[in-house]
Structure 1
Amino acid sequence: ARPGQAGAGRAGLAVAAAAAAAVAAIAVADRDPPWGVGVVWDGVPREAARFVADHHLPPTVYNDFDTGSYLNWAWAGAPPTFQDGRALGGVAFVRDCDRILRGRGIEPLLARYRVQTVLTSTLFPSSGRIFPSVWHWMTSPAWRLVDASDALVFVRAGAAPGVPGLPRRLGWRRIALDGEAVAASRPAAAHAAYTAAVAWTLAGDTERARLWRRRARERHPELAAAYAPLLGAE
């Protein structure tokens, strides 16, 4: 090899050795935490999942798409999840899950899948798509609210008679708090502020409802007309 080429080769080896040493030093200094340490539980229905399992709520248990992967881990198949990111069940099943999200006329569909228990997110951070189904669970006499910890859990009326129901206002309060959290962390998520306004109204907190109604209309006036039937004019 020419002298220049040999020098370049040695320099390259030196750089590679230095990089390897740096990576090794980082690996030593930045070790992974022990198993179970460092888990961030925000955004997963940890308490709701435990409630369903501890009370042995009857299957089939419906869950929304966003909660499926966590519930697979938390429940380990007992009870089985309804849907998750793997989109199992084929095109027809995915279409049915989408129909459930729309919230209207879904009872025959739920009966076909023998749904007796529902664990659902209060809202999606990215959009308002889940709200029609949440509205259905929250307003239908066919379902009882039994938990509103970090998600909403419902059982079909007449099922799980030993599990006491909760006042609906507690469910609306959970929805409102989650709407506030999403609105704070994602200012562009227009649906979140309106969700908080609607939910505080139905929870009976007129002051917070008025505050969030004003914020929603000031920040996202483009949705004011769409939410007017639920919020009224002001």
Structure 2
Amino acid sequence: MNNGEFEKVIDYTFKNKALLDKALTHSSFCREHAVETRDNNERLEFLGDAFFDAIISVELYKRLEKVDEGKLTKTRALIVCEKSLATVAQKLGIGEYLNMGKGEEHSGGRHRESIMADAVEAVIGAIYLDGGYDEAARFVSREFESTVVDALAGKLFTDYKTQVQEALQKRGQKTSISYHLDREEGPDHDKTFYVHLVCNGKTLGNGSGKSKKEAEQNAARATLEGGIK
């Protein structure tokens, strides 16, 4: 599949084709082909993550005029997450357009949620650089409309990190929550991440996953299931 076909899928034609090529290039491809690290999609993912968050924040602010900041934050967390990004990625078929190393591909990388989610954020970042905020917002608004609707209707999956935050805040005490990476195991194309959740200097839960975001969610879930003390 070529990038021209993908432009039709996302209903956006890039003026700078190199930006789309970079957005669809996984780091494993660069390692196997001795390509400069900066030519993979990680920097665009960083940018896209920020604009995805901002675009959804504006959308919710407009739609939920009578909702307070806490509810807005909770609703946004349901939308701006790996699961919803991966769902949109599957709808777009983005995995089939990715440039990736053979090892990553053979281990199922084209269908791995974390890789697909990162690629969608990279595409958002690329569209922003190529066409500006309005074009990036148009893409996000169109592709995530059903996700926003489901979030407002309470139909999306549970965000354990937000639940932990709320449970700790109900104590009426000042809390400082952070997630710490303990280690990574496995080859680059099939890593498992291990993290632990810390609140006010005390470890409350541990979790693992195929991405850091998944591991953090599992650490939060373990904290809730173990009872917050």
Same fold (TM over 0.5): no
**Bigger relative contact order (CA 8 A; separation at least 6):** 2
Greater percentage in helix: 2
- TM (normalized to structure 2)? 0.29
TM-score (norm 1): 0.28
Q: Bigger radius of gyration, 1 or 2? A: 1
